[in-house]
Amino acid sequence: MSSAPLAARLTHVAGPLFFPVTAYGPDGTVDLDTFRTHVRRGVDAGAAAVFACCGTGEFHALTQEEFRLVVAAAVQETAGRVPVVAGAGYGTALAVQYAKLAEEAGADGLLAMPPYLVVADQEGLLKHYAALAAGTSLETIVYQRDNAVFTPQTVVALAQTPGIIGLKDGYGDLDLMQRIVSAVRTQLPGGDFLYFNGLPTAELTGPAYRGIGVTLYSSAVFAFAPDIALAFYRALEAGEDGLVNALLDRFYRPLVELRAQGRGYAVSLVKAAVRLQGLDVGGVRTPLTEPTAAHVKDLAGIIASGRALLEEYAEGERA
């Protein structure tokens, strides 16, 4: 764990945010050695942060002891090189318990996922996240999606809540996000509240989110193809529209269309892709299911297409 505040470490990043999958062994138990390898490879490849035990990491499927062990493994493997953010969710009491476990394991911050099952009003959501943020000394990013969608005024209140440093948007309503950004900017001038594009394959909407000032994003692709994810990140940062659009057309859009063909593919397809790259991280835990053999074959073709495109561009630069 670094002594530098998480918000400061995430304000100026030089790569995608890495959401590792949680590895399981043949008997279905957590495989910490393989998970460590997965994290180490991601950090060595250029990840700006590690978000452990979040959506892609099957937070919902882990016991508290498994959660603690996996977060601690991520902290030990990163050794302070990049921040480690851990998921926290369920109802308020349980979310605080997970937050305390993450703090004990050495995490730098929390990604607060939607409360379990219930559909709360804005006042209830605000109280929930305020209680979670007050439960530890860790800085907290609130995840907007599903049953936790906020009005601009609620986000203004969240931004004023001690311990809450940002909003990750997995809802995908750009009109709402523009109004949120505008409200916070207007009512809290000079603030440093952070925004993240947290859609399942965030690169697809990266140019659109960048247009409203949201430049940080989670990259599921980085978990299995860091070379492609980094090439896209750097092209987007540099304004290389040709490469950005080519990757969107030949890699990211086909990947998103494949992901849409199965429930839970935002997680299970990523784990399948990691296995395709030679690291056996196991399958997903129920209630998620594995992609079909045909879809895994399609996935391999999409990854190959992305890498072929990068080679074409590299050859063009060498010519």
* For the chain, the helix, strand and coil percentages under 3-state DSSP, each to the nearest 5: 55, 10, 35
**49-52 and 216-219 strand pairing:** unpaired
- Rounded to an integer, what distance in angstroms lies between the CA atom of residue 269 and that of residue 118? 28
3-class DSSP state for residue 91? Answer: coil
Yes or no: say if 174 and 209 are a contact pair by the CB < 8 Å rule. Answer: yes
Yes or no: say if 252 and 264 are a contact pair by the CB < 8 Å rule. Answer: no
- Rounded to an integer, what distance in angstroms lies between the CA atom of residue 202 and that of residue 66? 28
Of 117, 116, 95, 84, nearest to 1 (Cα)? 84
Residues known to be catalytic: 143, 168
